[in-house]
Chain A
Amino acid sequence: MVDDLVISKQSKGLTIIDQVNSHNANVFIGKLGDILFKAVDKPLGMALNWGRLWSLWPVHIETACCSVEFGAASGPRYDVERFGIIEAFGSLRQCDLVVVQGTITRKMAPRLRLVYDQMPEPKYVIAMGACAITGGLYFDSYNVLPGIDGILPVDVYVPGCPPRPETLIQGCMLLQEKIKRMKPR
């Protein structure tokens, strides 16, 4: 689509805007992102990453007791907002970070995957707490998954039961470090 537009522009001497009509407008807007990436990948990639890493919005899905410390981390003493991570957010369509806050039970696992699938790219996952990493204390429970690696690709593991808010913040900063070094796509 993008290539089509570019070629036709050259051959017929029309601008892109001329080709937009009510039928293809939506597709065009959807592809705008691709065009932008192609145009700015090299020179502005750093800027894209920079924008992403200071506006990580976690999705509001609490899965177990680690959410207490997640709440404390957004409280006034620890205040994760100064690192560009706002307190858990309602709409998952606008989020780009899943903080898995603890135990994933067999009932929650499909829901968690559903939430992850509905989020727009790019998206990152932080596994918070021993339970999310290996099952933790509940390694022998009949209803708990031994870690979330089986259902989500994890970027950063934050150990602890529960991790102190400082540890969570450190995990978030590690994620930012990782994003900084990624290719911006």
Chain B
Amino acid sequence: MSSTDSTEIAKTDDSSLASDLDKSLSDSISKKFSNVEIAYVKPDRIRVNVKKEEIIDVASFIRDELNFDHAESVSGVDYPEDKQIEVVYHLGSYTDASLDKKILALATRTPREDNPRPGNDSTKLPSLRDVFPSVSFHERECFEMLGVYFVGHPDNRRLLLPEDWADIPPLRKDFRIKGR
């Protein structure tokens, strides 16, 4: 049994399957912040796109009012055609039993430059470290892998790459690996 046209299946809107709790969570965010865009509400997965100026306020609101208390992962995605880099924080909750299954993805975008000089160009974002201390190492990783400098992070040092790494950040799309 082959999956017929996979693209078609993936495109089906499953917001109808999402529970009331999911909807109420996303509603409370969009009610408070008018600029925030709710990208999708799938079962147990919500994605919120915010402007980078607003991210600290939204994150504080999510932590204080919606009880999400830690970050599961922070992934940076490079979009060269939009000239933007996106950083997605996946937030979860340990303390609130009703939110056990939920993952709230908080995404924001920052401009991207073709000749990156990590730390010294416009690719900057406010750090969420004061709101969620658990993002601290993830943000360090994001800084070296995509060159997104986190303003307010006290420890924006190199983490995984060798000390003498002088190339552009490796997870950018214009970093091609040899022979590919």
Q: Do A and B bind each other?
A: yes
Residue on B nearest A139 in the bound complex, by CB:
B179
Q: Are B179 and A140 interface neighbours, CB within 8 A?
A: yes
Indicate if B177 sits at the interface (CB-CB under 8 A).
yes
Give which listed residue, B163, B167, B177, contacts A141 with CB less than 8 A: B177
CA distance A140 to B177 in the complex (A): 6
Contact yes or no, B180 A107, CB < 8 A: no
Main secondary structure, interface of A, reads loop
B175 touches A106 (CB 8 A): no
| Assembled-state Cα–Cα distance A141/B161 (Å) | 13
Measured between alpha carbons, how far is A107 from B163 in the docked complex, in Å? 7
Report the count of interface residues on B (CB-CB < 8 A). 10
Contact of B175 among A105, A107, A142 (CB under 8 A): A142
User: Are B162 and A142 in contact, with the CB atoms below 8 A?
Assistant: no
- Bound CA span A140–B163, Å: 21
Q: Is the CB of B162 within 8 A of A143?
A: yes
**A141 to chain B: closest residue by CB:** B177
Q: Interface residue tally of chain A, by bracket?
A: under 10
**Complex CA distance for A140 and B175, rounded to whole angstroms:** 13
Residues of A within 8 A of B163 (CB): 107
Q: Are B177 and A106 in contact (CB under 8 A)?
A: no
Interface string of A83-105 (1 = CB under 8 A from B): 00000000000000000000001
A107 to B170, CA, bound (A): 15
- The residue on A at minimum CB distance from B178 is A140
- Of chain B, the residue at the smallest CB distance from A105 is B162
Find B180's partner among A106, A140, A143 (CB 8 Å cutoff): A140
A106–B165 alpha-carbon span in the complex (Å): 9
Whether B179 and A143, one on each chain, are in contact in the complex, defined by CB atoms closer than 8 angstroms, is no
Report B91 CB to chain A, min CB distance, Å: 30
Complex-state Cα separation, A105 to B161, whole angstroms: 10
Q: How far is the CA of A5 from the CA of B170 in the complex (A)?
A: 61
Which residues on the B side are within 8 Å of A106 (C-beta)?
Answer: 162
- Considering the complex, give the chain B residue whose CB is closest to the CB of A107: B162
CB proximity of A114 to chain B, nearest CB, Å: 14
B180:A142 contact, CB within 8 angstroms: no
Residue numbers of B with Cβ under 8 A of A are 161-163, 167, 170, 175, 177-180
Contacts A141-B177, A142-B177 known; list 16 others, CB within 8 Å.
A105-B162, A106-B162, A107-B161, A107-B162, A107-B163, A140-B177, A140-B178, A140-B179, A140-B180, A142-B167, A142-B170, A142-B175, A142-B178, A143-B161, A143-B162, A143-B170
Identify the A interface with B (CB < 8 A). 105-107, 140-143
